[in-house]
Structure 1
Amino acid sequence: MSDPFNILCLSAQAPDLVTSAFGPFVVQACGKLDELSNQLHLQPYDAVLFDLKLTGGADRLLHWAGLPRAVLESAVVVIGPEPTPAVCLRLLQAGVRDVLSSREATPEALGRVLRLAIERKRIDDSARRAYSIDLTTGLPNHNQLQEHMTHLLALREREPAAMALIVLHLDGFRAVEASLGTEAANVLRRKAAVRLRGSLRASDVVASLGPDMFAVLLAWLDADEDADHVARKLLAAVNQPFQVAGQDVPVGARLGVSQYPAHGKDAATLLRHAVGLASGGSFGRLLGQGAAANDES
């Protein structure tokens, strides 16, 4: 028997769900939106079911402060008295997974719609994670980095503070791939990611921009010169040879640094500036000369 699905309901149909063949469902009923908000803070739910007759209508639900959190964490389904196409579209645009008319909401139909909404959300969440993560290193990819920067920059408009983006263009990956194979190159990328992550604060973000390029987002700087200090620290970290397939592999690095707000006030501009500097070799090309670091595969 599969694990039960936890359903939070603001609906008169809540008790009927336990009989659906599309379950098993464990149902938590709420009497009003404020109570439902409190429940969402207490535990996660696979789905949330709203009856527009109990929410005060579609407009009330759409303006409810808890709706963004509900659609982010759960599959949201709405029941309405003959909802119009316009209302359905507005609800879908707000993140609702499905809309049923009250006359359609039999226990069997409602159970089916909830189960399919839950499964679709799980599939979508899995695809979104794959879209936002570099599968070789587990780091955020270009799209996720830009999204994170955009949110952070919006915060900086309200709470001004210096921040910086460092881009590292590493040389040596293509030679490793040509001589030792693709998996060896992937091992090298993972080791480089570990070294970069180990050289930073927990609040800083490391992202993958491609096969031989990484980005480091310094979310908060006490002084402008701190960015160059961190950049040189990162250079020193990757400048030590890596051990791959029993061999010492030297890696060269070129760096580009862009600072907010001096070099731009949006994610695309800051990223373009740093990538351009790294591609042009503004910090020069440094080949590892020291002893191999203690890397883990």
Structure 2
Amino acid sequence: MNSTPPETSVNVLDLLVDAVCMVDAEGRYVFVSAAFERIFGYTPQEVIGRRMIELVHPDDRARTLAVVAEIMAGNYQLHFENRYVRKDGRTAHIVWSARWSKDDKVRVAVARDVTERKRTESLQAAVYAISEAAYTTHAGPLDGHDDPVALFARVHQIVGDLLPAANFCVTLFDAVRGQLRYPYHVDERQPAPSPRAFADDALCAEVIRSGQTLLVTPATRASLPAPLADALCGGASYWLGVPLHAPEGPLGALVLQGYSDHGGYTEKDKELLQFVSTQVAAAVERNRMHARLRHMAQYDQLTQLPNRALFHDRFSTALARAKREQGQLVLLFLDLDGFKQVNDSLGHAIGDLLLQAVATRLRQCVRAADTVARLGGDEFVLLLESPRGELCADKVTGKIRAAFQLPFDLAGRSVEMRASIGAALYPVHGAEEQALLNHADQAMYLQKRR
């Protein structure tokens, strides 16, 4: 039997949706049907004489050759699944069945393209994986930059399983500052950018402002407005940006970038990334909600100072550290003199403004590493620590009193306010938390009575 099918058989084979292939004993193509070009992108003339294994995805070649050896030994192979690299550089998922014809010295295979099925399965897996990542990675402290970077890294990995994603960036929009930030940025040519003004990143700004996906290819670049076309940096050929939406407004964008004309992004990639972006936006918003809830549980909502619970947690940690390192702690209790009269005469709104202004001045009197907390009402507490024992309670108290010499400007009203301050020093006034708290509290009330 001739290894090339007769003409009538070829005509029938060319009508099949699946590709029929014949490969000789050396693993070279000797015949492919018309469907081969639709599935793999190569014409018959381009593959006849080429080794079959050259088209197989590099990661699948070893197991493919192992199956080929079984077929050459006379075993049928049914529904073997592996990946091939199409002519355009994209990955095709193939299920094929094959047998070896001993008489004709050829391996006959029928290949079915299941890329779309695998894509659907991958999308379902991506939704699950992103949701799982959102629950297992947590945002950092709520300081304005509570970005779940571990989540973004996992999303990058998930997206990379769906389409080419060597260059992947998460851009977040800070509406308060009018800035774009880049908490996650992986690029083979460009370093991670610093935060920049919204208008200084024309492509991302366009995606976020319009709420529409933007796909830039060599074919579409010429039709773009000059600011957008010029924004492609580093010789990028392809740029794909998808907005991240949240109920209260835009969160930012997911961006993919490619530097090669081979295997660029398509409309299908755009649809896929849009689908992923909805899951990412939900995950980012969920992380931010958890961060807000943690913040509400630990901080006073009026002054944004640590509340009683967070203060005690920090005090316990600082005391243990001072004992271990033979350091020093200063604890200051502060109570506003005549605060009730301000509330009664000027109203609670002015009283709230006063508490906020006091919180601001107290923070200015200490270092960033020190703790200023509001225990409730008009009671505040300051915790200062030094591993070298260089703190002086009188010096800090004097600084606070000087800050209170200036009147408080509250919605156009000038209000004078003084404070009673009590101090406790570790280890002079006690070695345990409650003893130090009691000493500072009693010292504060003693000064108030005076």
Give TM-score scaled by structure 1 length.
Answer: 0.55
For the structure 1 residues 225 and 24, does the alpha-carbon distance in structure 2 shift closer, same or farther, using more than 3 Å as the test? closer
Shift of 1:178: 1.3
How far does the alpha carbon of each residue in 1:237-264 deviate from its partner, in whole angstroms, 9 at most, with x for none? 1232212232221212111101111222
2-structure distance, mates of 1:141, 1:224: 27
Question: What residue in structure 1 maps to residue 399 of structure 2?
Answer: 233
Question: What residue in structure 2 maps to residue 277 of structure 1?
Answer: 443
Is 1:145–1:207's contact at 8 Å kept on the other side of the alignment? Answer: yes
Question: What residue in structure 2 maps to residue 132 of structure 1?
Answer: 298
Shift of 1:207: 0.9
2-structure distance, mates of 1:250, 1:207: 22
Match of 1:189 among 349, 355, 370: 355
Question: What residue in structure 2 maps to residue 176 of structure 1?
Answer: 342
Q: Is 1:25 matched with 2:130? A: yes
2-structure distance, mates of 1:245, 1:191: 11
For the structure 1 residues 27 and 188, does the alpha-carbon distance in structure 2 shift closer, same or farther, using more than 3 Å as the test? closer
Comparing 179-188 and 220-229, the one that deviates more: 220-229
Is 2:328–2:391's contact at 8 Å kept on the other side of the alignment? Answer: no
Shift of 1:267: 2.8
Equivalent AA in structure 2 for residue 45 of structure 1: L
Long gaps (5+) in structure 2: 1-120, 134-147, 155-281
Question: What residue in structure 2 maps to residue 215 of structure 1?
Answer: 381
Question: What residue in structure 1 maps to residue 332 of structure 2?
Answer: 166
- Select the structure with the greater relative contact order (CA < 8 A; seq sep ≥ 6): 1
Question: SS state of the match for residue 264, structure 1?
Answer: coil
Shift of 1:221: 7.0
Question: What residue in structure 1 maps to residue 151 of structure 2?
Answer: 45
Is 1:196–1:238's contact at 8 Å kept on the other side of the alignment? Answer: no
Is 1:133–1:144's contact at 8 Å kept on the other side of the alignment? Answer: yes
Is 1:256–1:281's contact at 8 Å kept on the other side of the alignment? Answer: yes
Shift of 1:220: 1.4
For the structure 1 residues 130 and 27, does the alpha-carbon distance in structure 2 shift closer, same or farther, using more than 3 Å as the test? closer
Question: SS state of the match for residue 145, structure 1?
Answer: helix
Question: SS state of the match for residue 234, structure 1?
Answer: helix
Question: What residue in structure 2 maps to residue 199 of structure 1?
Answer: 365
Structure of higher CA gyration radius: 2
Comparing 220-229 and 242-251, the one that deviates more: 220-229
Shift of 1:127: 3.0
How far does the alpha carbon of each residue in 1:61-102 deviate from its partner, in whole angstroms, 9 at most, with x for none? xxxxxxxxxxxxxxxxxxxxxxxxxxxxxxxxxxxxxxxxxx
Question: What residue in structure 2 maps to residue 154 of structure 1?
Answer: 320
Q: Is 1:258 matched with 2:364? A: no
Question: SS state of the match for residue 329, structure 2?
Answer: strand
1-structure distance, mates of 2:385, 2:122: 47
Question: What residue in structure 2 maps to residue 248 of structure 1?
Answer: 414
TM alignment of 1:34-183, pairs within 5 A: 43-45=149-151, 125-183=291-349
Equivalent AA in structure 2 for residue 210 of structure 1: G
For the structure 1 residues 119 and 267, does the alpha-carbon distance in structure 2 shift closer, same or farther, using more than 3 Å as the test? farther
2-structure distance, mates of 1:251, 1:215: 17
Question: What residue in structure 2 maps to residue 92 of structure 1?
Answer: none
Give TM-score scaled by structure 2 length.
Answer: 0.37
2-structure distance, mates of 1:221, 1:232: 22
Equivalent AA in structure 1 for residue 130 of structure 2: F
For the structure 1 residues 46 and 141, does the alpha-carbon distance in structure 2 shift closer, same or farther, using more than 3 Å as the test? farther
For the structure 1 residues 263 and 121, does the alpha-carbon distance in structure 2 shift closer, same or farther, using more than 3 Å as the test? farther
Question: What residue in structure 2 maps to residue 106 of structure 1?
Answer: none
For the structure 1 residues 117 and 266, does the alpha-carbon distance in structure 2 shift closer, same or farther, using more than 3 Å as the test? farther
Equivalent AA in structure 2 for residue 230 of structure 1: V
Question: SS state of the match for residue 293, structure 2?
Answer: helix
For the structure 1 residues 274 and 163, does the alpha-carbon distance in structure 2 shift closer, same or farther, using more than 3 Å as the test? same
Is 1:47–1:118's contact at 8 Å kept on the other side of the alignment? Answer: no
Is 1:239–1:253's contact at 8 Å kept on the other side of the alignment? Answer: no
For the structure 1 residues 176 and 27, does the alpha-carbon distance in structure 2 shift closer, same or farther, using more than 3 Å as the test? closer
Equivalent AA in structure 2 for residue 142 of structure 1: R
For the structure 1 residues 169 and 145, does the alpha-carbon distance in structure 2 shift closer, same or farther, using more than 3 Å as the test? same
For the structure 1 residues 46 and 258, does the alpha-carbon distance in structure 2 shift closer, same or farther, using more than 3 Å as the test? farther
